[in-house]
């Protein structure tokens, strides 16, 4: 008896599969980011009406976020890791010699460190390594601080957020001016480690000029004396070249 063969299932063309995989990954990441933000707002005790306003405001900013991501994807490719080996070594800045085996810069007091990375990784490692050497830690980020090896009472998490004129920010959320005020207040209580990885968010909410001025103020504050430290992380691919150079000049040590 002859067996009837079933027709083979149609397969997507390689190009279609590649496109769909990239689209699905981006779609999933967008869902995760949106749900994370919603969770943060919900955990702050907002009412249903307040959540509705926050979500509508966030949806209205989606075109700006998409344009920012588009510029990031179209930016020139990053240099390969072995490329610096082909160049003669340049004189190191004071206190910027790499620590043995760690791949991180050496710490020195009263310095602002800028880690240029697509996602905060080395900056987090550096902050974790130095947290116990400071009286307090101010963690400025949209994400909560990881384990830092110090008492929770020494760590303060501040989430940057936009506030309208006349409105009071929710607990734990502050605009650049409020963040600066907390830094000055906590700095009077002993050495302070300030961690910041929300520069891209601040730039989206408040504009490039205010964000760069805030970064410059932060470096001047920590360099005015004492044993405090500033650790910042930024994806430079999101910045035009003039703004990138200006941001670099604000910090004492680049990593």
Please answer whether residues 142 and 199 qualify as being in contact, where contact means their C-beta atoms are separated by less than 8 angstroms.
Answer: no
Query: Which of 69-83, 95-109, 123-137 has the lowest average pLDDT?
Result: 69-83
Please answer whether residues 250 and 215 qualify as being in contact, where contact means their C-beta atoms are separated by less than 8 angstroms.
Answer: yes
Residues 6+ apart with CB under 8 A from 120: 141, 197, 233
Length of the chain: 255
Neighbours of 30 (CB within 10 A): 14
Neighbours of 174 (CB within 10 A): 19
Residues 6+ apart with CB under 8 A from 90: none
- Tell me the pLDDT tens digit for each residue of 136-178: 999 999 889 999 999 999 999 998 876 554 444 455 778 888 8
Please answer whether residues 156 and 186 qualify as being in contact, where contact means their C-beta atoms are separated by less than 8 angstroms.
Answer: yes
Please answer whether residues 38 and 55 qualify as being in contact, where contact means their C-beta atoms are separated by less than 8 angstroms.
Answer: yes
Q: How far apart are CA 202 and CA 146, in angstroms?
A: 21
Average pLDDT over residues 75-101: 37
The neighbouring-strand residues paired with 159 are 173
Across 60-74, 102-116, 126-140, 238-252, which has the greatest mean pLDDT?
126-140
- Looking at the whole model, is its pTM more than 0.85? no
Average pLDDT over residues 214-238: 89
Closest by CA to 136, choosing from 178, 195, 177, is 195
Q: How far apart are CA 145 and CA 140, in angstroms?
A: 9
Mean of all residue pLDDT scores within the chain: 74
Predicted confidence at residue 187, as pLDDT, reads: 82
Q: Which parts of the chain fold into alpha helices (H)? A: 14-43, 48-60, 62-73, 122-130, 176-187, 199-206, 208-222, 241-250
Q: How far apart are CA 115 and CA 119, in angstroms?
A: 10
Statement: residue 93 has pLDDT above 50: no
- Tell me the pLDDT tens digit for each residue of 185-198: 888 888 999 999 98
Say which DSSP state 133 is in: G
């Amino acid at each position: 008896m002859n067996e009837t063969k079933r027709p083979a299932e149609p397969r997507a063309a390689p190009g279609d599969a590649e496109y769909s995989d990239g689209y699905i990954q981006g779609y999933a990441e967008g869902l995760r980011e949106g749900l994370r933000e919603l969770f943060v707002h919900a955990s702050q005790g907002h009412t249903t009406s307040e959540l509705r306003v926050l979500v509508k405001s966030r949806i209205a900013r989606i075109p700006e976020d998409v344009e920012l991501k588009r510029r990031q994807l179209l930016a020139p490719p990053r240099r390969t890791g072995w490329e610096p080996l082909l160049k003669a070594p340049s004189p190191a800045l004071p206190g910027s010699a790499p620590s043995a085996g760690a791949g991180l810069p050496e710490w020195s007091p009263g310095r602002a460190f800028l880690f240029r990375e697509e996602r905060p990784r080395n900056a987090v490692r550096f902050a974790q390594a130095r947290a116990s050497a400071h009286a307090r830690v101010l963690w400025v980020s949209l994400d909560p601080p990881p384990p830092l090896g110090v008492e929770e009472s020494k760590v303060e998490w501040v989430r940057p957020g936009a506030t309208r004129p006349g409105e009071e920010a929710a607990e734990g959320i502050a605009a650049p001016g409020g963040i600066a005020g907390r830094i000055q207040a906590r700095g009077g209580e002993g050495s302070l480690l300030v961690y910041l990885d929300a520069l891209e968010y601040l730039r989206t909410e408040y504009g490039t000029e205010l964000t760069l001025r805030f970064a410059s103020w932060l470096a001047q504050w920590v360099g005015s004396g004492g044993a405090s430290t500033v650790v910042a992380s930024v994806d430079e691919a999101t910045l035009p070249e003039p703004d990138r150079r200006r941001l670099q000049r604000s910090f004492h040590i680049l990593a």
